[in-house]
């Protein structure tokens, strides 16, 4: 949306944000974590610490466990495309992870889907756009209303068989 997010005054409250990535996204993870700290948020970096090859599911599961345990308000998951780690995070029913590519998708993930984690692809999203995505995600609130029942179905899925 082109808005500048350089002042922590836009935040109604400071948030606990956990970050996790694979080796392909370690640089973007560090950039976003530093930016979030500069905004005054409480940041937890769940790793990895180096660019040595790791498997994104391990870090996606770690982030999901952290969110499910209430140890962070929101999470940021990163890998090369954002796809693999988002799938890993979403294996935990307490997590609603949305892979986003722009600030609008990041805002709608919160407003319509009550996402508590966003996923970004370091090979596909530059640092400035990633900061915009994170800022929109953190500043948006779940709208509830017509979306609440749908989100409840995501948290408590019921698969019904069709009649033969």
CATH numbers and ranges of domains, the chain: 14-155 (3.40.1400.10)
pLDDT tens, position by position, 9-35: 444 578 999 999 999 999 999 999 999
Average pLDDT over residues 142-149: 76
Q: How far apart are CA 138 and CA 14, in angstroms?
A: 10
Q: In what order do the strands lie in the sheet with 74-79?
A: 42-45, 16-21, 74-79, 117-121, 97-99
pLDDT computed for residue 78 by the predictor: 98
Residue 76, helix vs strand vs coil: strand
Tokens 């998951």, located at residue: 77
Q: What is the mean pLDDT of the chain?
A: 90
Active-site residues, by number, are 79, 112
pLDDT confidence bin for 150, thresholds 50/70/90 = confident
């Amino acid at each position: 949306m082109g808005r500048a997010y350089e002042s922590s005054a836009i935040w109604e409250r400071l948030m606990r944000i956990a970050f996790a990535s694979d080796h392909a996204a370690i640089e973007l993870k560090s950039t976003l974590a530093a930016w979030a700290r500069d905004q005054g948020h409480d940041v937890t970096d769940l790793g990895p610490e180096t660019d040595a090859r790791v498997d994104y599911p391990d870090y996606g599961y770690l982030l999901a466990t952290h969110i499910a345990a209430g140890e962070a308000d929101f999470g940021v998951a990163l890998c090369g495309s954002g796809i693999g780690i988002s799938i890993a995070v979403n294996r935990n029913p307490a997590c609603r992870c949305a892979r986003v590519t722009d600030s609008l998708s990041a805002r709608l993930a919160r407003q319509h889907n009550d996402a508590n984690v966003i996923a970004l692809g370091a090979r596909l999203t530059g640092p400035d756009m990633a900061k915009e995505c994170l800022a929109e995600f953190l500043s948006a609130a779940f709208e509830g209303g017509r979306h609440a029942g749908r989100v409840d179905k995501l948290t408590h899925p019921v698969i019904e068989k069709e009649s033969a």
